Homo-oligomer: A and B are copies of this chain.
Amino acid sequence: MPHEIKGLNEECGVFGVFDTKKANQLTYFGLHSLQHRGQEGAGIVSSDGTKLKQFRNKGLLAEVFANEADLDSLDGNAAIGHVRYATSGNDSINNLQPFLFNFYDDEVALAHNGNLINAKSLRRQLEKAGSVFHSNSDTEILIHLIRQKRDLDFIDALKASLNEVKGGFAFLLLQKDRLIAALDPNGFRPLCIGQLKNKAYVVASETCALDMIGAKFVRDVEPGELIIIDKDGLHIDNYTDDTKLAVCSMEYIYFARPDSIIHGVNVHTARKRMGRLLAKEQPVDADIVIGVPNSSLSAASGFAEEAGLPYEMGLIKSQYVARTFIQPTQELRERGVKLKLSAVRGVVEGKKVAIIDDSIVRGTTSKQIVKLLKEAGAKEVHMRIASPPLRFPCFYGIDISTRAELIAADHSVQEICELIGADSLGFLSTESLIKAIDIPSGRKVENGGLTVAYFDGKYPTPLYDYEADYLASLKQQEERNFLR
């Protein structure tokens, strides 16, 4: 499904490169392959060794750098870049990253993928001490924490600050003469290191960015690590030993690009295994299997192979739905006008269809898909979901904000099936999900090194500033369920 209609949104993608010609262009192409992680804004900061230069704006990367001169202006041999999902307010360019901070004695740029769960209390504490914030982003906190530690060396101040912030984070920092990367103690978000043929190092949210620019994969950044890249090369350090891998399972299920490899596991392959296991757990009496394009095609082909059913292209997704697109009015929608997905009548007519999707958030899209298929003549529509029911919010960098929106928070599988109008519905179990992803042993801890809290409510960290609201929402849900 296109990200915008799914109701699940990644927060960001980051990319950095150090010590190579055309650092600006490499960052641009690297960010391009991370565009699926954020479409609302983009920016790049480059260093020419003496000065940092910034350009950022709202829109897709290609819109932000519509004038090639703006990219050319970011000269120098190092750069970091950012693609961003969320924007708020009409002056939101303030919140676009990388941030660039000028001090009389330093310049620092900062890009962030994740979510800090003690940001509010840290900000209040800093403001009480006289700090002035300019964005609404939690990202800005890190630089204030660092600058408060004026008696320490920059790296020591950074390490101390990284121990103060909690939650999910993958930070890139650029100074005039070095590139720094840091990952949270649970490794919630993916972050990897690559190397170009000219020996320059690259850091990126996903390995697809390395492939895009012809860089070789070196290693994943591990939880608690601090990576420093300077003229002397790559330095691997860590700011804490208290780590436990709990990478976000939604990266494998939905967010990451199929060609990316996260902690040794290819995303497409994991999805295909989810589909296979789903076919075993939730078998279906169907004539054909179709996937919801594009994110569920891998799972659907796995399902079809395991079930021994033909895999067909029964839904077509428009390539040309721009954000400026005029939306059909309610009246036209009722008269049958659709936009993003079309059913292939020649494929589904008269058939019992197994339709595979990666997840169900609010259920509205699932309902539309069932309707689309039935209108195109499908005799039966059996929906199978290649992940467990989403019942709890994420606090580490995915936008599944409120429980009230999650259809599975308040409804049983049978109820959801009726609400979306399917003839049957089945979800993958959490155990099979973990088995399908199968992060190579050694790195595994509990839950196979994954965060599955969205399904079982067991978060790998305290919730800090979110604790009170979360408990209140659980209470409200109990009351809703009691009243029903």
Residues of A participating in the B interface, judged by any CB pair closer than 8 Å: 22, 25-26, 28-29, 32-33, 35-36, 39, 53-56, 60-63, 65-66, 68, 70-71, 73, 89-91, 93-94, 100-105, 120, 123-124, 127-134, 136, 140, 143-144, 147-148, 150, 196-198, 208, 211-215, 257-259, 261, 266-269, 272, 294, 297-298, 301, 305, 310-313, 316, 318-322, 324-326, 328-329, 331-332, 335-339, 342-347, 376
Determine the distance from Cα of A214 to Cα of B337 in the docked complex, in whole angstroms: 6
- Are A144 and B127 within 8 A (Cβ)? no
Complex interface: chain B residues within 8 A of A66 (CB): 324
Q: Kindly list chain B residues whose C-beta atoms are within 8 Å of the C-beta of A68.
A: 326
* Chain B residue at minimal CB-CB distance from A372: B211
Kindly provide the distance from the CB of A293 to the nearest chain B CB, expressed in whole angstroms. Answer: 9
A54 touches B91 (CB 8 A): yes
Instruction: Enumerate 19 A-B pairs (CB-CB under 8 Å) in ascending A order.
Output: A33-B342, A36-B320, A60-B322, A62-B325, A68-B326, A93-B93, A94-B94, A101-B132, A102-B133, A130-B131, A196-B335, A211-B345, A211-B376, A257-B342, A258-B313, A259-B345, A261-B345, A268-B344, A268-B347
* Contact present for B259 and A346 (CB under 8 Å): yes
Nearest CB of B to A327, in Å? 9
Shortest C-beta distance, A294 to chain B (Å), equals 7
Shortest CB distance A331–B (Å): 8
Q: How far, in whole Å, are A261 and B91 apart by their CA atoms in the complex?
A: 35
Residues of B within 8 A of A268 (CB): 312-313, 344, 346-347
This chain's copy number in the assembly = 4
Q: Is the CB of A62 within 8 A of B102?
A: no
B90 touches A73 (CB 8 A): yes
Question: Which residue of B has the minimal Cβ distance to A149?
Answer: B130
Chain B residues positioned under 8 Å from A53 (CB to CB): 89
Which of A103, A261, A311, A329 has its CB near the most chain B CB atoms (within 10 A)? A103
Cross-chain contact A103 with B127 (CB below 8 angstroms): yes
| Interface hub of A124, A213, A259, A339 (most chain B Cβ within 10 A) | A259
A333 to chain B, nearest CB (A): 9
Q: Using A32-B320, A56-B91 as known contacts, say yes or no to A132 and B147 having CB atoms under 8 A apart.
A: yes
Determine how close the nearest CB of chain B comes to the CB of A123; give it in whole angstroms.
Answer: 7
Cβ of A258 and Cβ of B322 under 8 Å apart?
A: no
The complex places the Cα of A115 from the Cα of B170 at a distance, in Å, of 40
10 A-B pairs with the lowest CB-CB distances in the bound complex, closest first? A214-B336, A266-B346, A134-B134, A62-B322, A259-B344, A35-B320, A62-B325, A130-B148, A104-B124, A54-B91
Nearest chain-B residue to A66 (Cβ)?
B324
B319 pairs with A294, CB closer than 8 A = yes
Question: Given contacts A214-B337, A320-B62, is CB(A71)–CB(B326) below 8 Å?
Answer: yes
| Separation of A80 and B482 alpha carbons in the complex (Å) | 51
Return chain B residues, CB-CB under 8 Å to A35.
Answer: 318-320
A336 touches B197 (CB 8 A): yes
